[in-house]
């Protein structure tokens, strides 16, 4: 009697020997996927059937769960943008109509024109847009070059104190700019032992960028270090055999293979310099940037729109100009990201910042 269960077990076909069925024609003509799965389950024990059902349940639940996550994230991210678009193109009459929530009844470009004029974007001198572009592009290019050289040095060269210096780079990521703003101000105010005053001069932004100490420079050095560490060492060995020195190897071999990382760091730098108002506001008094104008847009509207610097106007009445200003300030970044999104994602993946 004890041998019968053993003989039954020996005669049973293991579940692993039964092929997975995805289409009806894999089992026989006219057999559906459900019928094929029923045949397969006849050769399984209870544990295997339970595991199969759990897997089937997970396959059905996960797409729904994933949709809810993506929908929630998309709603959180896109709602402010849709809000800005809705308010930036509606008239003042629509603001007093409680039946209008998202779609303006009288769409107009007049609010946009007034906001552009109030922000000073049409001025020929001290134009905030031109100032921002000059600082943004110049500092970003300088910072990409300096951080690339620094990251390559940490990735490929061994020297005394390397770990200590890289620890300082990590501190650059962790320590906020506000902590070192006063020492920086004093340094640039009394530059070269007090002989030069660099306050309200573009050099206060260019010099840190050229020395790999600009805005979020620590993170950019880390990105380059991780990317260069992932490149094969044989590329440099071959260059050395051809007579290249370290600097020429960096220019001729490493940079052409690091295009995605250069683009990623450049985009990061563009975004952070564009959005910065704290550093620029600390060093500039006469020179205005987009972020500085946007920060003080509430007071600017009192003069430009309501002709009274001390006007007591509610935020609800000003909201259309404020949202128009926000939309104007982020539009260049949205266009830039939309055009370079594929390369930006590739650079993030190859730099080692994601798993």
Q: pLDDT for 228-276, tens place per residue?
A: 888 888 888 888 888 888 888 888 888 888 888 888 889 889 999 998 8
Q: What are 134-161's pLDDT values in tens digits?
A: 989 999 999 999 999 999 999 888 888 8
Answer yes or no: is pLDDT of 303 > 50.
yes
Q: What is the pTM of this model?
A: 0.74
Least confident segment among 11-15, 31-35, 62-66: 11-15
Phi, psi of 292 (to 5 degrees): -65, -40
Using alpha carbons only, give the angle 171, 177, 182 rounded to the nearest 5 degrees: 115
Rg (alpha carbons) of the chain, rounded to whole number = 31
In whole angstroms, what is the distance from residue 283 CA to residue 279 CA? 7
Q: Is the dihedral of CA 308, 314, 315, 317 positive or negative?
A: negative
Helix (H, G, I), strand (E, B) or coil at 90: strand
Domain 119-295 has CATH 1.10.3720.10: yes
Domain extents for the chain?
A: 13-76, 119-295
């Amino acid at each position: 009697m004890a041998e019968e269960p053993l003989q039954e077990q020996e005669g049973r076909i293991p579940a692993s020997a039964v092929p997975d069925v995805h289409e009806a024609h894999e089992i026989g003509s006219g057999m559906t996927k459900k019928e094929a799965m029923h045949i397969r389950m006849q050769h399984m024990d209870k544990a295997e059937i339970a595991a199969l059902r759990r897997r089937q349940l997970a396959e059905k639940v996960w797409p729904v769960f994933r949709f809810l996550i993506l929908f929630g994230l998309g709603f959180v991210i896109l709602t402010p943008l849709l809000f800005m678009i809705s308010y930036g193109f509606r008239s003042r009459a629509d603001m007093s109509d409680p039946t209008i929530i998202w779609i303006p009844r009288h769409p107009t470009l007049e609010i946009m024109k007034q906001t552009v004029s109030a922000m000073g974007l049409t001025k020929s001198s001290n134009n905030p847009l031109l100032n921002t572009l000059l600082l943004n592009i110049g500092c970003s290019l300088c910072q990409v070059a300096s951080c690339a050289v620094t990251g390559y040095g940490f990735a490929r060269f061994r020297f005394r104190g390397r770990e200590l210096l890289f620890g300082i780079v990590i501190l650059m990521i962790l320590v906020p700019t506000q902590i070192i703003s006063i020492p920086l101000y004093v340094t640039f105010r009394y530059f070269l032992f007090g002989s030069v005053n660099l306050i309200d001069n573009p050099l206060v932004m260019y010099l840190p960028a050229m020395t790999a100490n600009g805005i979020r420079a620590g993170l950019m050095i880390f990105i380059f270090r991780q990317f260069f560490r992932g490149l094969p060492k044989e590329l440099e060995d071959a260059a050395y055999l051809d007579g290249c020195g370290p600097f020429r190897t960096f220019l001729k071999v490493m940079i052409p293979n690091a295009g995605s990382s250069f683009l990623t760091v450049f985009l990061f730098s563009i975004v952070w310099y564009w959005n910065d108002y704290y550093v620029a506001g600390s060093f500039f008094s006469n020179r205005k940037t987009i972020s500085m104008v946007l920060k003080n847009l509430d007071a600017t509207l009192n003069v430009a729109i309501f002709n009274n610097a001390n006007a007591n106007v509610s935020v609800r009445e000003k909201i259309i100009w404020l949202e128009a200003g926000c939309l104007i300030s982020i539009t260049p970044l949205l266009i830039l990201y939309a055009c370079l999104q594929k390369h930006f994602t590739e650079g993030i993946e190859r730099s080692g910042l994601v798993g």
